[in-house]
Amino acid sequence: MANPTGEQFELTRGAARAVVTEIGAGLRAFEIGGVPYVETFDPADKPPKGAGQVLLPWPNRTKDARWTYRGEPQRLEMTEPKRGNAIHGLVRNREWQLLEHAESSIRMAIDIVDEPGWPVPLHAVIDYELAPRELTVTHELRNDGESPVGVGVGTHPYLRIGDVPTDELTLTLPATRVRPYDADEQLPYAEERDVAGTEYDLRAGRPVAELDLDTAFGGLEAADDDRYHHLLAHDETTLDVWTERSFGWVQVFTPGELGSRGRAIAIEPMTCPADALNSGTDLIELQPGESWRGSWGIRVR
């Protein structure tokens, strides 16, 4: 059987190491001095629960796999049949083209053309660049069609700090707004609301053991460096999942099982929330020939 993630591309810089997959251009490993900071998986396996995958031209779910483009109904492939939705875009299970591969960086590209329910061709590029204690990921999208289109970008890393149990980590988010989800459809069932005074207020940090989330957070407050910082900490170590302002949403997912380590936590930078193709919320509007570029990263400190 062919390897479901294709060729494995290794990046190294000093004690830092990362592995990027050919299928999906996903992040399969990120470690420093042999200590892992993302949940990994065997290259012979499919990424469990979307681990490390790139989500575009929309992240999360599109309700009923349907949306409307310029007055024309569109029918996407129903990639989440259990709930009847289209989930996490069109490029997770496709082979990306290798453009450049240096010791500590890689650039890959893919064209989104002639996909069911997606009428506008797009060209996407992703760059991974490794520093001694940081991995930076940069996404580029270009509208290769003749009409404008709204798009979204997301990614799906599961974070860890070595072998520390996930429940012993502390999560801090700079989010002031939340969109609660319906447990069956996994789509927003209530209007976006303020986190103050609710279980969703994570601005002061809370132990992951207290959290049960598959939830979109917005209203992010930028730090002095004009970035958003989502923090996962244990003792003297903090993982900083930073994003530029274009990633104005973050999905946090705490599944009970992920591989052999059990409970896990995904911190998913997104430019828009679930079902944005229908709501229009924070879609990136690209005119014909126009490009967009945005970055996020993981820093160990």
Confidence check: pLDDT of 35 > 60: yes
User: SS3 breakdown of the chain: % helix, strand, coil, rounded to 5?
Assistant: 5, 50, 45
| DSSP-derived pairing of the beta strands 154-156 and 53-55 | antiparallel
Q: CA-CA distance, 221 to 229, in Å (whole number)?
A: 9
The burial of 224, by beta-carbon neighbours within 10 Å (0-12 exposed, 13-18 middle, 19 or more buried), is given as exposed
Confidence check: pLDDT of 236 > 50: yes
Q: What is the dihedral of CA 268, 41, 93, 144, to 10 degrees?
A: 50
Host H or E run for residue 215: strand 214-220
pLDDT of res. 187: 62
Confidence check: pLDDT of 1 > 80: no
Does the reported pTM lie above 0.75? yes
pLDDT of res. 261: 87
* DSSP-derived 3-state class of residue 210: helix
Q: CA-CA distance, 89 to 79, in Å (whole number)?
A: 9
pLDDT tens digits, residue range 10-29? 999 999 999 999 999 999 99
How many angstroms separate the Cα of 283 from the Cα of each of 6, 201, 270?
Answer: 31, 25, 10
- β-bridge mates for residue 123, sequence order: 111, 142
**Nearest in space to 93 (alpha carbons), one of 138, 60, 46:** 46
Host H or E run for residue 276: helix 276-279
pLDDT of res. 28: 98
Confidence check: pLDDT of 166 > 90: yes
Q: What is the CATH number of domain 8-300?
A: 2.70.98.10
pLDDT of res. 188: 56
Q: What order do you get walking across the sheet with 27-32 strand by strand?
A: 8-13, 16-21, 27-32, 35-36
For the chain, the domains span 8-300
